[in-house]
Structure 1
Amino acid sequence: MVISRRENHNAHESICQMGLEAATKALLDAGITYDKVQQAYVGYVYGDSICGQRALYQLGMTQIPIINVNNNCATGSTALYQARQIVEAGIVDCAMALGFEKMQPDHVVSVMSEVKGIEPKPPFTAQIFGNAGIGYIEKYGATPEHLAKIAEKNHRHSALNPYSQFRDIYTLDQILASPKIYGPLTKLQCCPTSDGAACVVVASANFVHKHNLEAQAVEIVAQVMATDSPKMLTDDAIEWAGTDMTRKAAQEVYKKAGIGPRDVQVVELHDCFSANELITYDALGLSPPGQAHKLIDNNDVTYGGKYVVNPSGGLTSKGHPLGATGLAQCAELTWQLRGWAGDRQVANVKYALQHNIGLGGAVVITLYRKMNNKKSQPHVGYNPATEARPISAEDVRKVAALKFLSARL
């Protein structure tokens, strides 16, 4: 499950607490204790080399392998990819993928900003994706307004997500009028600095049946990781943003699953900037090449259209804590497939698609479906998809490793 919030105390304590909260919620959701987990992959970009151990030791020092993962913005889904691989290989029956990030500016930067100000310079990533947007506009006839409409949609969606960092709704004019960042990108089309955590339990079919989790279970139908192709070295600005690796991974996912993009109903897409969402429509096959902006014109990326893209609010509004983002996407799609998403629920979801990319580069694309049609009920006493509650000491006791608890009593 996912949390996204600001913390003011020590960074290491904050990371450990965020990790504990996300892992506790995931174990509560699965109805198991931590000693059932046989291997864990923990993703983060900022932090010490063994932050994964520090976070998970709070649930028990069970001596399982804990592997720390860093793969830029694709870190969370890379942890999921590894957990899925180890289970699929039959090496373990239950693995955990945990991701967290604390990305607040440090105290010196904050003070300097207040006293002297900081010269606004667009970050490297804004230039990469801004140029990709410019390239798409010049090549295919999209407009800056199409990019702004993507941001308007995602901010509107986020108002229904209790885990979103920002839940404000903005008009198209407000988005266009917000401060310019780079090229056609304005501030409200860019993901914010975020702190947060998310966690997923990955289990074999045998584990699911043994623990009577059929109603909860969501199946990973296909998952592919890809890296950059030589197209990234050409003079095509769209390709600088890694679209060819997305294109390759998407094609392989559809082939493995035996379906096409039109079979998908809901998508969590890596919209670090609105321009990336635009160019990724084509790369995922949601639109024919060069026609992504027509999906926007036809309202085919929101409720009532062909697809609902980023019902969570996406990175633009939900936030982008790097190590957690891919797992937060997974949590949202899991809730959608279970039918738990309340006012942001997408109708008649059969297949859900996830896209998580990191420049430099890696992309992970995952296709999900519900394991069966059994109606599921939350195990935590409330619906975590529509209500964000903190964990209690009793929640931690419920899921901590049994041997660990008995040793402390």
Structure 2
Amino acid sequence: MPYVPNKAYVVGVGLTKFDKPRGERDYPELGLEATVKALIDAGLTYDDVETASVGYCYGDSTCGQRALYQLGMTGIPIINVNNNCSTGSSAFVLAVNSIQAGQADCALALGFEKMAPGSLGSAWNDRAPPMEGTMSQLFEIEGEKEYETDDFGPFAARIFGAAGQEYCEKYGATWDHIAAIASKNHKHSVKNPYAQFRVAPSPQDVSKARKITREVTLPMCSPTSDGGAAAIVVSEDFVKKHNLQDRAIEVAGMGVATDSPRLYNDRSRIELAGADMSRRAAAIAYKQAGVGPKDIQVLELHDCFAPNELVTYPALGLCAEGEAHKLVESGDNTYGGKWVVNPSGGLESKGHPLGATGLGMVAYMSLQLRGEAGQLQVPNVKAALTHNIGLGGSCVVTVLRKAPFYKEGGHNRSRFGYDFADECRRMTDAELAKVRSKQTSDYVPPSIPEPQVTK
């Protein structure tokens, strides 16, 4: 008989504020706060967690253990993950897989990042960079020797900027469409207390802002950020045993993809930005869930740079190839349209702490489905999608929906004492004590050192 995986459900989510890297909070604190909030949201303690996957890009090899040991040294497996910008979703994939395979009934996915200010760069100069093929082909396509210098801006911004430029050249769009996308996302973030930026520049303001590359302006770019996010993933038996039906969100479909030969064979700047990974991951997720793009009401899309949102619309099936800018013109990417894309504000304004980004998307979409998204709430959400991409490459697309046995009536206000979505509060000592392991209550966790403040 064919293998039928168990169903997996998200029953708790937690977030810290995504903030500018100032060195004010260290990763153990960020990871701890996100986990404590997820456990409170689920009504569980760390003793219920049987396995954990922890994502981060910048840190030593066992940062996950350092963060989670503060909740108790329970001896569970803790697996650390680094998959570029899709690291958070990759940690989520491992947690979901453990439930679907029957290896655990309760899994934790945690992501956090403590980043350096400024544009991304490699910590290594004595080995081959993972994306050297992508960059060398971009230089060849651009056909300008001087484009290989740093004078044209950070490499990541140049890749996505070039993808946006190719779209404009092929399909008749302009950079005004891309500015409108950035403006839309910043407008959404004004109502998100967890967002790094809460200002709303007009499309004209976005267009006139300081250039980061030849095409991309500053408001079109995601910032480097510090932050954490977490999700508790459980089996159906666990949901019913612990009476969690009022917060059970089904992982209905999950597609994971890496690059295909199109990355290089097509000699396309859009393909260099990972478009085919998005196409294939989305197709897998839709097929597993038995839905299509028209069945989705709200999604968090990986807009590390505004051009990537434009070129990803067709990859996710929201429109035909070459019609993404028409979706922008019609307003079908915001409240009142066919879809609400990035109600959180997206990476451009919510922030982009790499390890936390994908799990933050899962958190926002879970709250939307539970009707607990506060001022960000989209009406009548039945299915939601997350899209998290990392060049080099990896893409994770998930389709989420309420469990078939979902029970209305719960609300995060009763669990936190405040509206979690509308008010960003830091974890309290009482909250930590409530969810720490009782089995290892004699263990004294290490104190979190005072971090060095970045001037």
TM range (shorter): over 0.9
* 1:5 has 2:39 as partner: no
Query: CA offset at residue 184 of structure 1?
Result: 2.5
Q: Which residue of 2 aligns with 1:145?
A: 176
Query: CA offset at residue 406 of structure 1?
Result: 4.2
Counterparts of 1:179 and 1:7, CA distance in 2: 21
Q: Which residue of 2 aligns with 1:263?
A: 295
Q: Deviations for 1:26-50, whole angstroms, at most 9, x for unmatched residues?
A: 0000000001100000000001110
2:247 aligned counterpart, secondary structure: coil
Stretch moving more, 148-157 or 376-385: 376-385
* 1:89 has 2:101 as partner: yes
Within 5 Å, give how 1:196-345 maps onto structure 2.
Answer: 196-233=227-264, 234-345=266-377
Query: CA offset at residue 389 of structure 1?
Result: 0.6
Q: Deviations for 1:133-191, whole angstroms, at most 9, x for unmatched residues?
A: 01100111111000000000000000010100000111111111101112321110000
2:30 maps to which of 10, 18, 21: 18
RMSD of equivalent CA atoms: 1.6
* 1:102 has 2:114 as partner: yes
Amino acid at match of 1:392: T
Query: CA offset at residue 7 of structure 1?
Result: 6.2
Counterparts of 1:361 and 1:67, CA distance in 2: 20
Aligned residues: 396
Counterparts of 2:242 and 2:35, CA distance in 1: 18
In the superposition, relative to structure 1, how do residues 405 and 5 fare at CA in structure 2: closer, same or farther (>3 Å)? farther
1:223 aligned counterpart, secondary structure: strand
C-alpha contact (below 8 Å) 2:73/2:443 kept by paired residues: no
* 1:364 has 2:396 as partner: yes
Query: CA offset at residue 17 of structure 1?
Result: 0.5
Query: CA offset at residue 5 of structure 1?
Result: 2.7
2:224 maps to which of 193, 203, 210: 193
2:117 aligned counterpart, secondary structure: coil
Q: Which residue of 1 aligns with 2:425?
A: 389
The alignment-based identity, stated in percent, is 54
1:32 aligned counterpart, secondary structure: coil
C-alpha contact (below 8 Å) 1:34/1:400 kept by paired residues: yes
Unaligned runs of 5+ in 1: 110-118
Query: CA offset at residue 2 of structure 1?
Result: 1.4
Amino acid at match of 1:143: T
Query: CA offset at residue 350 of structure 1?
Result: 0.2
In the superposition, relative to structure 1, how do residues 127 and 222 fare at CA in structure 2: closer, same or farther (>3 Å)? same
C-alpha contact (below 8 Å) 1:218/1:369 kept by paired residues: yes
Query: CA offset at residue 364 of structure 1?
Result: 0.2
TM-score (norm 2): 0.85
Q: Deviations for 1:271-298, whole angstroms, at most 9, x for unmatched residues?
A: 0000000000000000111100000000
C-alpha contact (below 8 Å) 2:19/2:351 kept by paired residues: no
Counterparts of 2:205 and 2:23, CA distance in 1: 34
Counterparts of 2:359 and 2:400, CA distance in 1: 13
Amino acid at match of 2:19: R
In the superposition, relative to structure 1, how do residues 271 and 406 fare at CA in structure 2: closer, same or farther (>3 Å)? same
Counterparts of 2:113 and 2:219, CA distance in 1: 22
Q: Which residue of 2 aligns with 1:375?
A: 409
* 1:127 has 2:161 as partner: no
Q: Deviations for 1:39-85, whole angstroms, at most 9, x for unmatched residues?
A: 00000000111000000000000010000000000000000001000
2:408 aligned counterpart, secondary structure: coil
Counterparts of 1:227 and 1:375, CA distance in 2: 40
Counterparts of 1:282 and 1:105, CA distance in 2: 33
Counterparts of 1:229 and 1:97, CA distance in 2: 27
Unaligned runs of 5+ in 2: 1-13, 122-149, 446-455
C-alpha contact (below 8 Å) 1:134/1:183 kept by paired residues: no
Q: Deviations for 1:292-314, whole angstroms, at most 9, x for unmatched residues?
A: 00000000000000000000000
2:433 aligned counterpart, secondary structure: helix
2:170 aligned counterpart, secondary structure: helix
* 1:62 has 2:96 as partner: no
C-alpha contact (below 8 Å) 1:273/1:316 kept by paired residues: yes
Query: CA offset at residue 104 of structure 1?
Result: 2.5
Amino acid at match of 2:261: P
Query: CA offset at residue 407 of structure 1?
Result: 4.6
* 1:165 has 2:196 as partner: yes
Query: CA offset at residue 245 of structure 1?
Result: 1.1
Counterparts of 1:391 and 1:317, CA distance in 2: 23
C-alpha contact (below 8 Å) 2:21/2:115 kept by paired residues: no
In the superposition, relative to structure 1, how do residues 170 and 9 fare at CA in structure 2: closer, same or farther (>3 Å)? closer
In the superposition, relative to structure 1, how do residues 141 and 310 fare at CA in structure 2: closer, same or farther (>3 Å)? same
Query: CA offset at residue 105 of structure 1?
Result: 3.1
TM-score (norm 1): 0.94
Q: Deviations for 1:223-250, whole angstroms, at most 9, x for unmatched residues?
A: 0100001111031111111101110111
Counterparts of 1:394 and 1:5, CA distance in 2: 24
C-alpha contact (below 8 Å) 1:397/1:405 kept by paired residues: no
Query: CA offset at residue 6 of structure 1?
Result: 4.5
